[in-house]
Amino acid sequence: MAMYKIAAVTLSDGTALGSVLNYRPAAAVEERKDIPQEERAFEKKRLEKAVEASLKELEQLADEVRKTLGDDKAAIFECHHVILEDEDFQNDMYALIDGSGYTASYAVQVVAEKNAIEMEELEDSYLRERAADFRDIGQRLISCLGRTEEDSAVFPPAPAVVVADTLSPGETVRFCKKNLLGFIVNKGGRNSHAAILARSIGVPAVVIPENMSSLLKDGMRVVLNMENDSVVVDPDEETCRAAEKLEKKQAERRERLALLEGKPAVTTDGRRFGLYANAGSIRDLPLVAAANPDGIGLYRTEFLFMEQDSLPNEEIQTTYYEKIINTVPGKPVIFRLLDIGGDKPLPYMPHPAEKNPFLGWRGIRFLLDNPDILRTQIRSMLLASAATGTAVRIMVPMVACPSEMEAVKKIIDEEMPRTGGKAVPGMMVETPAAAVTVSAFRGVSGFISIGSNDLTQYTIAVDRESGRLGNLYSEFHPGVLGLMKKAVTDARGAGMETGICGEFASRPEGAALLAGIGFDELSMSPAAIPSVKEIIRTCSEKDFSELVDRALVLPSAEAVRGEAHDFLEARRLL
């Protein structure tokens, strides 16, 4: 068969050459909801023992990963431990057994899948990736209940590139113990815990369409990422030799990254950048703490509201925010105010249907129409600030005009003396209107933070979730970068600090461009911090600035990304 190429999306950078091994996990649990009343206590006891066994497994797995990959990757399994220990999560399973006659295994599957689907329905790409965590926890419990055994394909009999529909964090670690060269999956994103683990282990991973992965049969030779975002099938000898050289080069880079732990992100000419972590749930905090970022650049507070049965009161919110502040003691924390809308309504609050919820009643628009929710959230953040002795930053989503920031600043100014807390208000720049009028916010906003995901889709007029138009959505578009540069320049002139909190900074090419635009802080997935730190420490501020000057006159997103890629490749940073 002649060599051919399949387009892919990279989850974990790196090149891999090897033979295909298809992995098929165990089938779903048989539906059964007819357990007699007298047997339900026994089923509940089975579940109780499975929970205990799973918690022990997770502790052992975290210890094992900590020894080989470090605290930040072990924190993934500590997050799973937190989820499984949660009383509400457990009670939902027990209720299905006790009240509806479900078997323990089927109750686990239903509750895990319910939580996974809730995650997948969220707008935020980072939170959507947490769906795989719930499925992994469910599969672990079912295995402990005796429904499945460790799959025989978990350890490839010979070095192989594993092809699967999707992979959980647990499956990723088990595969990586022996004979694993790389992953090809049909589902998953760069923010999934499986992708984070693959990157930390140094295992290449890509996503390709399901109709293409079905062409990959056991034993076929493939090369992952010989070129960016690709799978080469049946490579010729010349391609194989080139892939082997790339593999060696990438192994050397992983060794370099390990030496950067604890070092600041400072350019060769002395410009320092803050490398912050994004987080969306209390369950992410162990991962954030282990990564030792310079602060939390985006904490998405809506998850707290979504997991409640009613609006969380001041006491609940204050305790919650204290935990987040204490995760990075003495370091900045940026809380985004509740960003809720028609696309992600609260289950206990009616929300009118909208034809285009992305352009509708969300963010600060919703909060100004619900002043009690807004004031309670601000008071809670200030009380947490007072309790921890740490000033917080409060970021306002979907800002379009100064009057919105004035309303928030007024509440903060009123509540600071009442609570004893300290806070700096800041605007999230997601709309083109905000990006081109930053100077008008002088005096009412202490900082700006670019929300690159929304700013990109609003600037290009493309829904980032659109399957048909997804190829048009790119933060590398010179128009998007031009807006960012104007916003940063104007903010600096108005005395505001500048940051970016989308996942764009997690990408090497994106980080290089953002450094050149002149941001003070880059916030990203915790796992991306080491590679971004190396990029910054290897280059000068002048290098980055000249890269952006070249990029802004290019005609397309593809050309801009290519320019940034060449910039990094020339410095051996890819």
Residues annotated as catalytic (active site), given as ranges: 193, 501
Helix (H) or strand (E) holding 500: strand 497-500
Q: Which residue has the tokens 């049965």?
A: 309
CA dist., res. 106 & res. 47, Å (int):
11
Name which of 558, 530, 32, 543 is nearest 255 in CA terms.
Answer: 530
Q: What crossing angle do the helices spanning 193-201 and 37-69 adopt, rounded to 10°?
A: 30
Q: Cβ distance 25 to 132 under 8 Å?
A: no
Name which of 192, 202, 199, 137 is nearest 170 in CA terms.
Answer: 137
How do the residues of the chain divide into helix, strand and coil, expressed in percent and rounded to 5? 55, 15, 35
Strands (E), 176-220: 180-185, 205-207
Name residues whose C-beta falls within 8 Å of residue 69's C-beta, 6 or more positions apart in sequence: 197, 200, 201
Determine phi and psi for 93, rounding to 5 degrees. -70, -45
Q: Which residue has the tokens 């953040």?
A: 381
Name which of 523, 540, 559 is nearest 272 in CA terms.
Answer: 540
Determine phi and psi for 425, rounding to 5 degrees. -80, 145
- Answer left, alpha or beta for residue 289, where phi above 0 means left and psi between -120 and 50 means alpha: alpha
Name which of 239, 143, 128, 229 is nearest 187 in CA terms.
Answer: 128
Q: What is the DSSP string of 525-565?
A: -GGGHHHHHHHHHHS-HHHHHHHHHHHTTSSSHHHHHHHHH
Query: HEC states along 45-73?
Result: HHHHHHHHHHHHHHHHHHHHHHHHHCHHH
Reading the block at residue 298, the tokens are: 């985006």
CA dist., res. 529 & res. 503, Å (int):
12
| First-residue to last-residue Cα distance in the chain | 31
With vertex at residue 167, the alpha carbon angle to CA 175 and CA 169, rounded to the nearest 5 degrees, is 70
CA dist., res. 423 & res. 418, Å (int):
13
CA dist., res. 505 & res. 289, Å (int):
19
Q: Which value, to the nearest 10 degrees, does the dihedral of the CA atoms of residues 435, 439, 443, 449 take? A: 30
Q: Which residue has the tokens 């990203």?
A: 524
CA dist., res. 373 & res. 86, Å (int):
26
Reading the block at residue 109, the tokens are: 């599957």
